[in-house]
C-alpha cells in the first residue's frame, strides 16, 4: 500500500509542478535548456560538415599530401566525427550533464516557494552539489547497466524468458534509477551521504518509480509521433531534453516536501513569508 501511495504522490507532484512553475515565474528557466540545446546542435552540425569535408579530402587520394599529411587528415576525420557524435547523437546526455547546476538551483527555488527555506550561496557547496549530481547519474547508469546486462539478461536467456518481459522489466528498472537521480538533489541539501540516500530510496521506491516513470515517458512518447517535417521531428525526438529534466526536478522537490516536510530542514534559513503549495 505504501508503494502505491508513493506512486500516486509522485504522479500528483508532476501535476502540482505545472501550477508552481506558472505561479512562481519559473518559465524563464526554460530558456536556458532551449538555448543550450540550440548551441550544442549548431556546433554539432558544424562539426558534422567539417567531418564530411575532411573525409572527402582524405578519399581524394591526393598523393601530394604525403604519408604524414594523409595520416593527419584521417586523425581530423576521427576527431570531428567524435565531436559530431557528442554534440548531435549524444546531445541528450550532454544537455543533462550541463544542466546539473541549473537543476540544483531550480530545486532550491522550488523548496523556497514551498517552505520559505533559503540557502546561502556557497560556491564550494554548489560545486560539490554539481559533482554529486553528475556522479550519481553515472552511478545510476553503471548500476542499471550491471543489473540489466550482467544479471537480468543472462537470467532471461537461461530460462528462455520472452523478450517483451525483458523489455518491460528493463524499462521499470530505468524508472527507478532516473527517479533516484532527481530525488538525490534534495537528499544532498539535507546532507544525506550517498549511502544514506540509497537507503532512503529503497524505503521509498514508489516515489522513485513515479518520478522516473513520467520523466522517461517525456522522452519516449513524443518521438513515437510520425512526421515528414525534419524540424518537427527534431523537436519531438528531443522534447524530453527540453522539458523532462525541468519538470522532474520540480516534481521531485514537491514530492519530497509532502513526504518528509522540508520545513524541518536544519540547513536552511527562513524567509518571513512564503508561497505554500496546496496538497
Calpha distance 233→239 (Å, rounded): 10
In a domain, 196, yes or no: yes
Q: What tens digit of pLDDT does each residue of 57-86 get? A: 655 555 555 667 667 767 776 776 667 666
Q: Are strands 269-270 and 117-118 parallel, antiparallel or unpaired?
A: antiparallel
| N-terminal to C-terminal alpha carbon distance within the chain | 20
In a domain, 68, yes or no: no
Q: Which tops the pLDDT comparison, 79 or 88?
A: 79
Q: For the chain, list the strands marked E by DSSP.
A: 117-118, 269-270
Structural domain of 101: 2-29+91-270
Q: What residues form DSSP beta bridges with 151?
A: none
Provide the domain count of the chain.
1
In a domain, 86, yes or no: no
Q: What tens digit of pLDDT does each residue of 177-232 get? A: 889 989 999 999 999 998 999 899 999 999 999 999 999 888 788 877 888 887 78
In a domain, 276, yes or no: no
Residue located via cell numbers 554548489: 126
In a domain, 229, yes or no: yes
In a domain, 41, yes or no: no
In a domain, 45, yes or no: no
pTM assigned to the model: 0.77
In a domain, 240, yes or no: yes
| 61 grid coordinates | 587520394
Report the chain's mean pLDDT, rounded to a whole number. Answer: 81
| Banded pLDDT at 146 (limits 50, 70, 90) | confident
Amino acid at each position: 500500500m505504501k508503494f502505491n501511495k508513493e506512486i500516486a504522490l509522485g504522479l500528483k507532484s508532476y501535476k502540482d509542478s505545472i501550477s508552481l512553475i506558472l505561479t512562481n515565474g519559473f518559465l524563464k528557466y526554460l530558456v536556458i535548456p532551449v538555448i543550450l540545446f540550440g548551441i550544442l546542435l549548431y556546433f554539432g552540425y558544424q562539426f558534422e560538415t567539417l567531418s564530411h569535408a575532411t573525409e572527402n579530402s582524405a578519399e581524394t587520394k591526393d598523393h601530394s599530401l604525403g604519408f604524414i599529411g594523409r595520416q593527419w587528415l584521417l586523425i581530423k576525420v576521427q576527431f570531428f566525427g567524435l565531436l559530431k557524435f557528442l554534440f548531435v547523437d549524444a546531445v541528450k546526455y550532454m544537455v543533462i550533464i550541463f544542466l546539473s547546476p541549473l537543476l540544483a538551483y531550480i530545486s532550491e527555488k522550488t523548496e523556497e516557494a514551498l517552505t520559505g527555506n533559503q540557502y546561502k550561496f556557497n560556491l564550494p557547496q554548489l560545486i560539490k552539489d554539481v559533482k554529486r549530481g553528475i556522479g550519481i547519474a553515472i552511478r545510476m547508469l553503471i548500476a542499471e547497466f550491471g543489473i540489466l546486462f550482467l544479471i537480468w539478461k543472462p537470467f532471461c536467456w537461461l530460462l528462455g524468458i520472452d523478450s517483451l518481459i525483458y523489455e518491460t522489466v528493463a524499462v521499470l528498472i530505468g524508472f527507478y534509477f532516473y527517479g533516484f537521480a532527481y530525488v538525490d538533489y534534495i537528499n544532498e541539501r539535507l546532507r544525506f551521504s550517498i549511502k544514506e540516500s540509497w537507503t532512503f530510496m529503497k524505503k521509498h521506491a514508489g516515489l522513485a518509480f513515479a518520478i522516473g516513470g513520467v520523466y522517461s515517458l517525456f522522452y519516449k512518447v513524443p518521438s513515437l509521433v510520425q512526421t515528414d517535417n525534419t524540424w518537427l521531428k527534431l523537436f519531438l525526438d528531443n522534447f524530453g531534453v527540453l522539458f523532462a529534466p525541468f519538470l522532474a526536478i520540480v516534481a521531485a522537490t514537491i514530492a519530497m516536501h509532502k513526504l518528509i516536510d522540508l520545513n524541518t530542514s536544519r540547513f536552511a534559513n527562513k524567509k518571513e513569508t512564503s508561497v505554500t503549495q496546496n496538497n
